[in-house]
């Protein structure tokens, strides 16, 4: 039942309704008082008391006050009706520094309880690496401070920031980097590349506070801005978050920007090196997205465009209903049709135009010409535009009539906007921005993540420049191919519920926040990853494997086959190790810069080399081969950038530090692999926790562990019964002996051996038998339950299938032995009369079929030896290809050879045994598991086969 609005809390509606109630009650009380007074005058009696149901003003006021108090109490306590972010004060950086330094390599016994936390944090290490690389300092930054979220044991450190950027500012910043790097490479005589790996394998990660904190880094890469021309942006251009706290950005959340025209014009000029000069869309005729889609659908390649596998692979020309020979409406074209025609007019020139797109044929001509000279007027007639010639003007044959008078405007008429100047200082910039590529043709927009801003995409969307080597042309085509495939697969994003991992971590008591230098956060992540992998190695007691500080896993000796098998970790572990190796290379490069061993240009060149040569510097592709796509894409981007960078006075060799395109590729890879790797590492850790046994205890298989479950659940009950049964004077340590008897009785039950201990008290024996019966029922039920799951086709572990087959074999043998025992005990289950009737019927049936008995071969039969040789050859065939034999096989082969040497003696022995022997060798039985049913396979012994 819902309450009326006037009962929900103190509000204007409730106040108005209370006043109305008060007025009504007051009027009602006055009427009642007047009636009572009149009645008292008539009866000459004292006025009656007012009834209880009449609301006086005082009572109504008191009731309203009580109701108000009740409602205020009702809403006094705050309840969690949604997510409330717990406000935590930032800790000082020294806190996490001390934690990391104290924990060291986790070898101290003081932190042995934190090992489980460190191992559990391995699942989130890929996420920590991704956030770390995402917030990497740019070449124009010396130091970048980032917000971090860390576990209170120092197990893992997350960079808790999103690198929002204003897109035109970001592109302009990288445009200036391009200019400065080319200038530096041109002027520096010998550019020396960094050494990789920057630190030796056995050199532990440097301590930030001792080595890096107090060192002033070298200058970052920054272009010298002109005080007049670049005045609109000079003050904030190279800030970490430009314009934050000004009116041009929405606030500290950094989501929207709105720049002035002088700012945009200056940014556009600085970014000019990375932007295209093309403004006419007709350049992209048959080289746009729809043309590429059509070419892919028709299995054709535009000259200079990408090539694809056939979209429709099972197309058979013989299955066509109509073709150019039997279609009466077909125009037969005898010459080959050009690819461009087929793509431009797919429905006209193709037989099966499936999944084709129609592109624009032509757009209006653009007569805007970009000016290089800033001193030219805004409206300038460029010489590139040919004037219309008057030489071929056609003169009119008929002269104009002379009676038309010329019309002259009066002197007082003035044109509109005469006082307005034709152009101002911003006019030329405004026209240039009008024709500029996105995002420079916008005054406002939304901030984007730095990795989402493509810097060189427009380069390969154009035709490859002429005269380039084959590898560069192929790289252009490959990059176009990736673009077309992504555009084809793109779908509008579905609305999804956002889940914030870091918010949920931050709301717990186990995580704290602080602000650290990015290099310090990276060093912590590397140290944490090293500790995690090392703990996992030692968890498996692999003391013969050594993980060095550059994340190479090396054996310390020549491993045996058993050790090699034991030291297999799986792709999740090794892929995480190689990702940490890549991270360590990047962090160490920054550390070398911060230690003044390399300058900012060498750092940028080293980072570009790392991202372009991941396949050489790490072995990630061994454990996830699909990332060969990323390796290939980085190689293509390298060709694309190098052949633009190394032109003119800039020669070949190291020195190109334009690393943003390759960085984007690997960050997108990390974004895709992180959820997969989290799941794989979670499975790895769950498997590892299952075999968490002390070093001294014997290793048990999972099946024996599961079979012990019921035993240990029965032990307290059994001990309780034993204590109740014991007399007062007997020691209490007899329980262990009785438990040993229980274990022996259970093994005897499984082996189908009678269990009897002489001298054991009858009550204890009965109690043990009762518990064995209980466990046997559970054991049998579990076997049949698992067999039903296997038969049904459910997902069952391989070891469970094998153990289930063994259990069913034991149960079958127990049932068979019990059947034989019952037969011997209870005798034949047919009477002599029934047996005589069966025999008589059999004899009559055989006689009616004219049955002739086969006599037993005589002791001297002429074909005896030949039959024996044939039988021996069949037996010997099985050993013709075997190189290694076990004991029973060697014994059988010896008997066969002996029979070959003495056939007559072997024959007589076989016949004698067939006639006289009554005690035979045992026969083995093994079931063949077909999952739906079992087939018994009998293994006859060596001597038995010879017979």
CA distance 874 to 786: 40
The full DSSP string for 337-401 is PPHHHHHHSHHHH-S--TT--PPPS--PPP-----S-TTS-SS---TTSPPPPSTTPPPPSSPPP
pTM of the model as a whole: 0.67
Query: Is the Cβ–Cβ distance between 358 and 343 less than 8 Å?
Result: no
Q: What is the pLDDT confidence band of residue 1, given thresholds at 50, 70 and 90?
A: very low
Does 762 score more than 50 pLDDT?
yes
CA distance 650 to 643: 10
Q: What is the pLDDT confidence band of residue 700, given thresholds at 50, 70 and 90?
A: very low
Query: Is the Cβ–Cβ distance between 940 and 923 less than 8 Å?
Result: yes
Give me the pLDDT at residue 474, please.
Answer: 96
Mean pLDDT on 710-725: 62
Sequence spans of domains, the chain: 5-74, 93-165+500-690, 702-746+756-812, 863-946
Does 590 score more than 70 pLDDT?
yes
The full DSSP string for 425-473 is TTHHHHHHHHTSPTTTT-SEEE-EEGGG--SSHHHHTSPPPTT--HHHH
Q: What is the pLDDT confidence band of residue 4, given thresholds at 50, 70 and 90?
A: very low
Joined together, the tokens standing for residue 598 give 């390399």
Query: Is the Cβ–Cβ distance between 306 and 363 less than 8 Å?
Result: no
> Nearest-CA neighbor of 643 among 635, 483, 194?
635
pLDDT tens profile 857-887: 676 777 788 888 888 888 888 777 777 788 8
Q: Return the residue matching tokens 């192929």.
A: 474
Does 228 score more than 80 pLDDT?
yes
The full DSSP string for 786-800 is HHHHHHHT----HHH
Please tell me which residue, 373 or 636, carries the higher pLDDT value.
636
Mean pLDDT on 846-852: 90
Does 34 score more than 80 pLDDT?
no
Please tell me which residue, 381 or 631, carries the higher pLDDT value.
631
Does 313 score more than 60 pLDDT?
yes
pLDDT tens profile 117-158: 999 999 999 999 999 999 999 999 999 999 999 999 999 999
Query: Is the Cβ–Cβ distance between 602 and 615 less than 8 Å?
Result: no
CA distance 142 to 221: 9
926: phi then psi, degrees, rounded to nearest 5: -145, 135
Helix, strand, or coil (residue 545): strand
Helix, strand, or coil (residue 899): helix
CA distance 99 to 438: 48
Helix, strand, or coil (residue 197): coil
Give me the pLDDT at residue 528, please.
Answer: 95
Cross-strand partners of 924:
939
CA distance 827 to 266: 110
**Greatest CA separation found in the chain?**
154
Query: Is the Cβ–Cβ distance between 433 and 440 less than 8 Å?
Result: yes
Mean pLDDT on 188-205: 92
Residue 139 gets the label, from left (phi > 0), alpha (psi -120 to 50) or beta, of alpha
Q: What is the pLDDT confidence band of residue 705, given thresholds at 50, 70 and 90?
A: very low
Helix, strand, or coil (residue 330): coil
> Nearest-CA neighbor of 531 among 130, 134, 199, 100?
100
Does 900 score more than 50 pLDDT?
yes
Q: What is the pLDDT confidence band of residue 479, given thresholds at 50, 70 and 90?
A: very high
Query: Is the Cβ–Cβ distance between 503 and 83 less than 8 Å?
Result: yes
CA distance 839 to 828: 15
Does 836 score more than 90 pLDDT?
yes
Does 17 score more than 80 pLDDT?
no
pLDDT tens profile 775-826: 999 999 999 999 999 998 888 888 899 999 999 999 999 999 999 999 998 8
Give me the pLDDT at residue 902, please.
Answer: 86
Sign of the alpha-carbon dihedral angle for 27, 33, 36, 37: negative
* CA trace torsion 31, 36, 38, 42 (10° rounding): 160
Q: Is 454 exposed, middle or buried (0-12, 13-18, 19+ CB in 10 A)?
A: middle
Mean pLDDT score across all residues of the chain = 85
Does 535 score more than 80 pLDDT?
yes
Give me the pLDDT at residue 162, please.
Answer: 96
Give me the pLDDT at residue 716, please.
Answer: 64
Please tell me which residue, 621 or 828, carries the higher pLDDT value.
621
With DSSP H G I counted as helix, E B as strand and the rest as coil, what are the percentages for the chain, rounded to 5?
50, 5, 45
Q: What is the DSSP letter of 773?
A: H
Q: What is the DSSP letter of 153?
A: T
Query: Is the Cβ–Cβ distance between 941 and 921 less than 8 Å?
Result: yes
**Lowest-pLDDT range of 80-84, 97-101, 537-541, 824-828:** 80-84
pLDDT tens profile 635-654: 999 999 999 999 989 989 99
Please tell me which residue, 876 or 770, carries the higher pLDDT value.
770
CA distance 45 to 49: 12
Q: What is the pLDDT confidence band of residue 698, given thresholds at 50, 70 and 90?
A: very low
**Lowest-pLDDT range of 320-334, 558-572, 669-683, 920-934:** 320-334
CA distance 169 to 165: 8
The number of residues in the chain equals: 947
On the CB side of 318, CA atoms within 13 Å amount to 0
CA distance 266 to 237: 11
Mean pLDDT on 461-481: 94
Query: Is the Cβ–Cβ distance between 302 and 387 less than 8 Å?
Result: no
Give me the pLDDT at residue 917, please.
Answer: 78
Mean pLDDT on 483-504: 91
CA dist 593 to 7, 129, 580, 613, 761, Å?
A: 69, 20, 20, 20, 83
Mean pLDDT on 543-549: 93
Does 5 score more than 50 pLDDT?
no
Query: Is the Cβ–Cβ distance between 702 and 161 less than 8 Å?
Result: no
Q: Which of 423-427, 845-849, 855-859 reaches the highest mean pLDDT?
A: 845-849
% of residues, the chain, pLDDT over 90: 53
Q: Return the residue matching tokens 């339950």.
A: 785
CA distance 273 to 825: 102
Query: Is the Cβ–Cβ distance between 379 and 421 less than 8 Å?
Result: no
Give me the pLDDT at residue 915, please.
Answer: 79
Does 729 score more than 60 pLDDT?
no
CA distance 141 to 136: 10
Mean pLDDT on 514-526: 96
Query: Is the Cβ–Cβ distance between 262 and 429 less than 8 Å?
Result: yes
Radius of gyration of the chain (CA): 46
Q: What is the pLDDT confidence band of residue 610, given thresholds at 50, 70 and 90?
A: very high
Please tell me which residue, 86 or 282, carries the higher pLDDT value.
282
CA dist 895 to 131, 859, 867, 945, Å?
A: 73, 21, 17, 10
CA dist 686 to 112, 116, 123, 679, 704, Å?
A: 19, 12, 11, 11, 19
Q: Is 536 exposed, middle or buried (0-12, 13-18, 19+ CB in 10 A)?
A: buried
148: phi then psi, degrees, rounded to nearest 5: -125, 155
Q: Is 421 exposed, middle or buried (0-12, 13-18, 19+ CB in 10 A)?
A: exposed
Pairing mode, strands 924-929 and 934-939: antiparallel
Helix, strand, or coil (residue 269): helix
Give me the pLDDT at residue 708, please.
Answer: 46
Joined together, the tokens standing for residue 554 give 């090396």
Does 713 score more than 80 pLDDT?
no
Does 11 score more than 60 pLDDT?
no
Give me the pLDDT at residue 7, please.
Answer: 42
């Amino acid at each position: 039942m819902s309450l009326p609005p006037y009962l929900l809390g103190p509000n204007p509606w409730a106040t108005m309704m209370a006043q109305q109630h008060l007025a009504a009650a007051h009027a009602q009380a006055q009427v009642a008082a007047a009636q009572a007074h009149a009645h008292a005058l008539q009866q000459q009696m004292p006025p009656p008391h007012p009834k209880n149901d009449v609301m006086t003003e005082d009572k109504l006021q008191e009731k309203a006050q009580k109701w108000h108090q009740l409602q205020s109490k009702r809403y006094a306590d705050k309840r969690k009706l949604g997510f409330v972010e717990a406000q935590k004060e930032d800790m000082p950086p020294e806190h996490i520094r001390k934690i990391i330094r104290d924990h060291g390599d986790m070898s101290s016994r003081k932190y042995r309880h934190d090992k489980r936390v460190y191992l559990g944090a391995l699942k989130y290490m890929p996420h920590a690496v991704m956030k770390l690389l995402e917030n990497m300092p740019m070449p124009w930054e010396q130091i970048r401070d980032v917000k971090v979220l860390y576990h209170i044991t120092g197990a893992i450190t997350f960079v808790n920031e999103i690198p929002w950027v204003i897109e035109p500012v970001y592109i302009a910043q990288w445009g200036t980097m391009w200019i400065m790097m080319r200038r530096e490479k041109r002027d520096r005589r010998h550019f020396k590349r960094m050494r990789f790996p920057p630190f030796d394998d056995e050199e532990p990660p440097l301590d930030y506070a001792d080595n890096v904190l107090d060192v002033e880094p070298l200058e970052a890469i920054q272009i010298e801005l002109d005080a007049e021309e670049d005045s609109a942006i000079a003050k904030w251009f190279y800030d970490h978050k430009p314009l934050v706290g000004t009116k041009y950005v929405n606030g500290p959340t950094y989501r929207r920007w709105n720049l002035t025209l002088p700012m945009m014009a200056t940014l556009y000029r600085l970014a000019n090196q990375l932007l295209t000069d093309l403004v006419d869309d007709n350049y992209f005729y048959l080289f746009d997205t729809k043309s590429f889609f059509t070419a892919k659908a028709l299995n054709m390649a535009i000259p200079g465009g990408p090539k694809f596998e056939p979209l429709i692979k099972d197309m058979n020309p013989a299955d066509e209903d109509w073709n150019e020979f039997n279609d009466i409406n077909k125009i037969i074209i005898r010459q080959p049709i050009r690819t461009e025609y087929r793509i431009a007019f797919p429905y006209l020139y193709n037989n099966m135009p499936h999944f084709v797109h129609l592109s624009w044929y032509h757009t209006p001509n653009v007569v805007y010409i970009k000016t290089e000279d800033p001193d030219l007027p805004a409206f300038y007639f460029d010489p590139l535009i040919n004037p219309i010639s008057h030489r071929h003007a056609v003169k009119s044959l008929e002269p104009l009539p002379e009676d038309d008078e010329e019309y002259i405007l009066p002197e007082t008429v003035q044109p509109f906007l005469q006082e307005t100047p034709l152009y101002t200082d911003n006019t030329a910039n405004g026209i240039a921005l009008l024709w500029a590529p996105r995002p420079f043709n916008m005054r406002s927009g939304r901030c984007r993540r730095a990795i989402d801003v493509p810097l060189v995409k427009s380069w390969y969307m154009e035709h490859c420049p002429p005269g380039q080597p084959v590898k560069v042309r192929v790289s252009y085509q490959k990059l176009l191919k990736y673009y077309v495939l992504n555009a084809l697969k793109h779908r509008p994003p579905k609305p999804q519920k956002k889940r914030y991992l870091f918010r949920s971590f931050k709301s717990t008591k186990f995580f704290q926040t602080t602000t650290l230098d990015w290099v310090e956060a990276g060093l912590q992540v590397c140290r944490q990853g090293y500790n995690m992998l090392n703990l996992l190695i030692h968890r498996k007691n692999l003391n013969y494997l050594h993980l060095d500080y550059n994340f190479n896993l090396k054996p310390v000796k020549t491993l045996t086959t058993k050790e090699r098998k034991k030291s297999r970790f799986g792709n999740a572990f090794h892929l995480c190790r190689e990702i940490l190796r890549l991270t360590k290379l990047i962090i160490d490069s920054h550390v070398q810069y911060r230690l003044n061993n390399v300058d900012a240009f060498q750092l940028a060149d080293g980072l570009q080399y790392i991202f372009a040569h991941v396949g050489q510097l790490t072995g990630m592709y061994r454990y996830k081969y699909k990332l060969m796509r990323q390796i290939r894409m980085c190689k293509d981007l390298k060709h694309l950038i190098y052949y633009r960078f190394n032109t003119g006075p800039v020669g070949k060799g190291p020195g190109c530090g334009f690393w943003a395109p390759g960085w984007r590729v690997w960050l997108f890879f990390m974004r895709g692999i992180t959820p997969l790797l989290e799941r794989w590492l979670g499975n790895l850790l769950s498997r590892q926790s299952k075999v968490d046994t002390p070093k001294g205890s014997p290793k048990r298989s999972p099946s024996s562990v599961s079979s012990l479950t019921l035993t240990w659940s029965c032990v307290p009950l059994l001990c309780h019964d034993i204590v109740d049964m014991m007399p007062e004077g007997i020691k209490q340590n007899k329980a262990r002996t009785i438990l040993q008897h229980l274990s022996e009785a259970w093994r005897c039950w499984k082996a189908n051996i009678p269990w009897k201990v002489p001298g054991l008290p009858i009550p204890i024996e009965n109690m043990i038998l009762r518990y064995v019966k209980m466990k046997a029922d559970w054991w049998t039920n579990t076997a049949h339950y698992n067999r039903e799951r296997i038969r049904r086709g459910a997902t069952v572990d391989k070891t469970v299938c094998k153990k289930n087959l063994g259990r069913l074999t034991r149960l079958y043998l127990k049932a068979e032995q019990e059947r034989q025992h019952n037969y011997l005990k209870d005798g034949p289950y047919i009477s002599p009369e029934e047996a005589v009737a069966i025999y008589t019927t059999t004899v009559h049936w055989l006689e009616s079929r004219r049955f002739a008995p086969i006599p037993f071969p005589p002791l001297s039969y002429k074909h005896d030896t030949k039959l024996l040789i044939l039988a021996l050859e069949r037996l010997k065939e099985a050993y013709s290809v075997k190189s290694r034999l076990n004991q029973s096989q060697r014994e059988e082969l010896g008997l066969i050879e002996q029979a070959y040497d003495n056939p007559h003696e072997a024959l007589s022995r076989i016949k004698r045994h067939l006639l006289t022997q009554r005690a035979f060798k045992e026969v083995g039985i093994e079931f063949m598991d077909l999952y739906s049913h079992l087939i018994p396979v009998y293994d006859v012994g060596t001597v038995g086969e010879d017979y």
